[in-house]
Amino acid sequence: MILIVDMNFKKHSLAYHEFVLPLVAIVEEFDDFTVKHHLEMGLEVASEYNKVLLSGNALRNNLFHVRKTGFEWIKQCSKPVLGICAGMQAIGLAFGLQLRACQEIGMVDVTTLLSNPLFSSKFRAYALHNCSVEPSEEFAVLAESGLCVQAIKHKQKDIFGVLFHPEVRNTAIIKRFLKT
């Protein structure tokens, strides 16, 4: 059973169609799933599922300007987590990483820096973000674009973050996360 966390500004928002439904289309081929809004989340909810996907959200959704806390459950979560864009930023906030302004809109070149189960080499991916995270001791930087950190992994846990949107042109990355 997979949990998809909707990171948009409210439950049942118009952005749900754009950032959550494309994940649903990929996940439903693999397993049963549930969608929860991020305000409904906590460690108890997450622990009921095998894997957790955190969605992206709209460029103007400055979620973290108003809500810098509330993602602590991610830090305690023992299940594999993949955070996409805003989801990666939420992982960063949960673990005390700094956010850094670096806007990218459109297709970007991503370079893999460390071998990992989700992707390899160089590839192009769709980006839509205003900021990324600063590297930290606790996280390995898996990939970067010229401008910013594009993917991270917790050094001990199966917690992954990708800044780009793999649901747009790199769906295999999400499928590998679901399979492994």
Q: Catalytic residue positions?
A: 85, 165, 167
Among 44, 66, 96, 106, binds another protein (CB under 8 A): 106
The yes or no reply on residue 114 touching another protein (CB under 8 A) is no
In angstroms, give the least distance from the CB of 94 to another protein.
26
In angstroms, give the least distance from the CB of 96 to another protein.
29
The yes or no reply on residue 109 touching another protein (CB under 8 A) is no
* DSSP annotation string for the chain: -EEEEE-SSSTT-TTHHHHTHHHHHHHTTTS-EEEEEGGG--HHHHTTSSEEEE----TT--HHHH-S-S-HHHHH--S-EEEETHHHHHHHHHTTPPEEEEEEEEEEEEEE-S--SS--SEEEEEEEEEEEE---SSEEEEEE-SSSEEEEEESSS-EEEESS-HHHH-HHHHHHHHH-
Residues between 152 and 171 that touch another protein (CB under 8 A): 167-169
Point out which residues bind another protein (CB under 8 A): 12-15, 17-18, 21-22, 25, 58-60, 103, 105-107, 126, 128, 167-169
